[in-house]
Amino acid sequence: MTEQNLNGKVALVQGGSRGIGAAIVKRLAAQGAAVAFTYVSSEAKAKELQDSVLAGGGKALAIKADSADAEAIRHAVSNTVETFGRLDILVNNAGVLAMAPLDEFKLEDFDRTLAVNVRSVFIATQEAARHMGEGGRVINIGSTNAERMPFAGGAPYAMSKSALVGLTKGLARDLGPRGITVNNVQPGPVDTDMNPADSDFAGSLISLMAGGRYGRVEEIASFVAYLAGPEAGYITGASLTIDGGFSA
């Protein structure tokens, strides 16, 4: 049975309608938090997730918001606070992955990578921190590719996830005096509909991993839930890798 150690807490998950984000929403709700989450295009999946949490006795709110849009992010934060009365936990999970050979990489894809993977984290944290008090939690979802990029075509993605390492450290200094922690979770390859564990691409990655398998979304979600909980108050400014030995 999952411990209900987040009772009374309110969370906002950027990019929470599917994959790792949906698993995080479910886990935080199972531990007692009221959870708002954003989505861009997966409206049916977002509604299904919201209804599933509600049917299980939890509290959830799906909010349509493009993480490349600063005003949409700010609205998502204010909507969360207006609906649930407070904000204690922010999970910055929204992310995009564009890959192409260097001489073919489009500048608009580069700019969107930065907008969603880095800029949105800063904006959401800046806005959420206005509502957070002692014990607040900011958890960024980075990538093991910040430390290891073993294939060509992913330089901008790796750069964006490396940027989160520095941003996390700086934000931890900014918010530490207020009792708010900021951490960065760096997953390795995880089995999702966008990156299934049974694909040819997955096979090439599994051969690089000490554990010999893809991760499960529930494993990432449990790690995030720990950082969101009361026992993780002494962890801040950290980039914590959960990648099955991909970067070993």
Residues recognised as catalytic: 157
Token pair of 214 as six digits: 């893809």
Please name the helix (run of DSSP H) or strand (run of DSSP E) that holds residue 10, with its range, or none. Answer: strand 10-14
Cα–Cα nearest to 11, from 121, 118, 85? 85
**What is the C-alpha end-to-end distance of the chain, expressed in Å?**
32
Contact between 31 and 58 under an 8 Å Cβ cutoff? The reply is no
d(CA 161, CA 142): 5
Q: Which residues touch 62 (CB under 8 Å, ≥6 apart)? A: 17, 36, 37, 38, 39, 46, 47, 49, 50
d(CA 17, CA 215): 19
Q: Which residues of 41-51 are buried (b: 16+ CB within 10 A; e: fewer)?
A: ebeebbeebbe
Per DSSP (E only), the strands in 99-217 are: 137-141, 181-187
Cα–Cα nearest to 142, from 240, 74, 214? 240
